[in-house]
Chain A
Amino acid sequence: DGGITQSPKYLFRKEGQNVTLSCEQNLNHDAMYWYRQDPGQGLRLIYYSQIVNDFQKGDIAEGYSVSREKKESFPLTVTSAQKNPTAFYLCASSFGTGPTYEQYFGPGTRLTVT
């Protein structure tokens, strides 16, 4: 059963701690993305990766870091430098970047930092 897996569904952390969100896909997609969703807001792009070992900053990359060591995996680390980390985080993937390719989204991880 192909798809995108994000774990865990809910994550709680204390302020000042780094936390890593998992994203795995078995769709054989080259491109992967991380978005942040806040109440009443659209999806804002944090980072994206077009191929393994390469990634680019999106619109709101400050306070976040990523790695792309494997095609299937694109973990996102929310660092203590992120001023307002509580949000719903969505991972997506596609065969390529650009408007030719549909983005498929995972179920999301809701992060709460107190």
Chain B
Amino acid sequence: GENVEQHPSTLSVQEGDSAVIKCTYSDSASNYFPWYKQELGKGPQLIIDIRSNVGEKKDQRIAVTLNKTAKHFSLHITETQPEDSAVYFCAASMPGANSKLTFGKGITLSVRP
């Protein structure tokens, strides 16, 4: 089955700096890669996703890039703000109506004011 690795487990940045979170996946058949943000005491919320037919997708301060050859994808957050502090999960899914998401272990991002 699919295996998603997420490193490091924690990341601390200064407010205003950029943050990059990287994930790797094992199955080259995976074609959908969402990123979820989980604030303290809440459920995860989808913030951006990318499919294997594109290499990059942007939404305001966040972007996701995909390298299919290397089997990794990254979340980029620019001009970080304290409210960006949260746990971020990456996930991967293979094609097919019955496919399921495989999640990474999550990374805790802390933005220092």
Contact = CB atoms under 8 A, between A and B. Distances in A.
A4 B44 CA distance: 12
A37 to B, nearest CB: 9
A48 interface: yes
Contacts, number: 63
A43 interface: yes
B96 A98 contact: yes
Of the four ranges (under 10, 10 to 19, 20 to 34, 35 or more), the interface on chain A belongs to: 20 to 34
A42 B89 contact: yes
Interface in B87-113: 89, 91, 93-106
Interface string B6-33: 1001000000000000000000000110
Given A41-B105, A43-B103, A99 B93 contact: yes
B67 interface: no
Contacts of B96: 98
Contact of B4 (A40, A42, A96, A108): A42
B42 A40 contact: no
**Interface size of B as a range:** 20 to 34
Contacts of A106: 43
B44 A90 contact: yes
Contact of B89 (A43, A98, A104): A43
Nearest to B96: A98
A99 B4 contact: no
6 contacts: A40-B9, A41-B106, A43-B103, A50-B98, A98-B99, A107-B41
Interface of A: 4, 40-45, 48, 50, 58, 90, 92, 96-99, 102-108
Interface of B: 4, 6, 9, 31-32, 34, 36, 41-46, 49, 51, 89, 91, 93-106
Given A42-B104, A43-B89, 14 more contacts: A42-B6, A42-B89, A42-B103, A42-B105, A43-B103, A96-B97, A97-B97, A97-B98, A99-B31, A99-B32, A102-B34, A102-B49, A105-B36, A107-B42
